[in-house]
Amino acid sequence: MKITTFSMRLSFFCSVILLGAGCHSMSPTTLESKSTETPMPNDSNVAISPLGATANGQEVHLYTLTNANGLVAKVSTYGALLTEMHVPDRDGQLKDITLGFKDLKSYEAGHPYFGATIGRYGNRIAKGTFTLHGKSYTLATNNDANHLHGGLAGFDKKVWEARPLSTEYGSAVALTYTSIDGEEGYPGNLKVEVIYTLTEENELTIDYRAHADADTVLNLTNHAYWNLAGEGSGAILDHELELMADFYTPVDDTLIPTGEIRSVQGTPLDFTTPTSIGSRMALMAGDPGGYDHNFVLRKSGEGLLEMAARVHEPKSGRVMEILTTEPGIQFYSGNFLDGTLTGKSGGNYEKRHGFCLETQHFPDSPNKPHFPSVLLRSGETYTQRTIHRFSAK
């Protein structure tokens, strides 16, 4: 997370980072924006279509981004969701590689955060409580006794405002939402903007920025489920994963970090070299039935945009690389998919039919002062960037 003054232009993110009690500067080229503030005309290469209305009557729209190479990304104003991502294989054949539904009603009925923008806090906060400046806050609990992914009605369940943006890099859409003071128990009124850009370099860039009128905590992420063989293609066990992480944060039996930072060496969590996801899955049977762990990324500097993960699907040849400014990444192997949800292609999503790589600050950081800070101070601005880069070999 980067903290800057709100007077920055979107086309050039300011480069001041909050490090504990002090601020340190870095090169502004680290977060040079892919977008500008200028809305596109109606005949732009961003298509807008109605997706229906929510149960309470709010209109929802779908924004379709395309590039010259045939890639397609679709984003819904409901939940600021990435609903589709069409990417070519080694033979140039396009497939949608994200899990999700065909219709708005299915998203509203409840789902495991398919493609969703997560906030205010991605991942878990123990017992739904934290203390800030000596005051205790109680959050909504929605994961047994813990707070997960923003609570009962997080950002994934909100209807966002949206507008297309002009950019020299590719088509883009900016989505905005205001979270009021006390929503799900969090302090401060918070204004959030998420920008999806599909570049001509076959990258899906997600930029986040936010500011609040009171000190608060914030940890935004995207919860896309990926299957590089194509949505509905079955298990992801043959995908080869490499994580730029030598350490992880062990958890208790409720998936709350113990506070320890432990080496992956000699464990089934060692993905420092490309390794098929399924090769050591049997060793994860009770921990917690697969992978659902926060990995501590190698960083050469706080807030720098650096490689975090690389995934290769051998049959299609598709490759996805993830770069991020965040210090951690949650690798989740779809352990709780159970066949009860019917996906876009008509098949049911069974266990491990998709995986997530959620760039983030660490779980339960508000209660772990030695973890990287998630404090957003009033008058400062949160910014972060994650890039998904697609290719085939």
Catalytic residues: 223, 358
Cα distance between residue 268 and residue 13, in whole Å: 38
Concatenating the DSSP letter of every residue in 112-176 gives: S-TT-EE-SBSSEEGGGEEEETTEEEE----BTTBEETTSTT-GGGSBPEEEEE--SSEEEEEEE
Q: Which two tokens stand for residue 3?
A: 């903290």
Which residue in 231, 58, 48, 51 sits closest to 157, CA to CA?
58
Q: Which two tokens stand for residue 206?
A: 């997600």
Contact 307, 299 (CB under 8 A): no
Strands (E), 20-106: 22-25, 46-53, 59-66, 72-76, 81-88, 94-96
Number of neighbours of residue 55 by Cβ within 10 angstroms: 9
Which residue in 198, 206, 242 sits closest to 87, CA to CA?
198
Contact 121, 130 (CB under 8 A): no
Cα distance between residue 145 and residue 124, in whole Å: 10
Question: Which amino acid belongs to residue 299?
Answer: K
45 alpha carbon, distance to own chain's centre: 25
Q: Which two tokens stand for residue 310?
A: 């690389």
Per-residue DSSP letter, 180: P
Q: Which two tokens stand for residue 133?
A: 């400046």
Cα distance between residue 315 and residue 277, in whole Å: 15
- Cα–Cα–Cα angle for 100, 59, 203, rounded to 5 degrees: 45
Cα distance between residue 369 and residue 361, in whole Å: 12
Indicate if the alpha-carbon torsion angle 156, 157, 161, 162 is positive or negative. positive
- Cα–Cα–Cα angle for 300, 217, 28, rounded to 5 degrees: 40
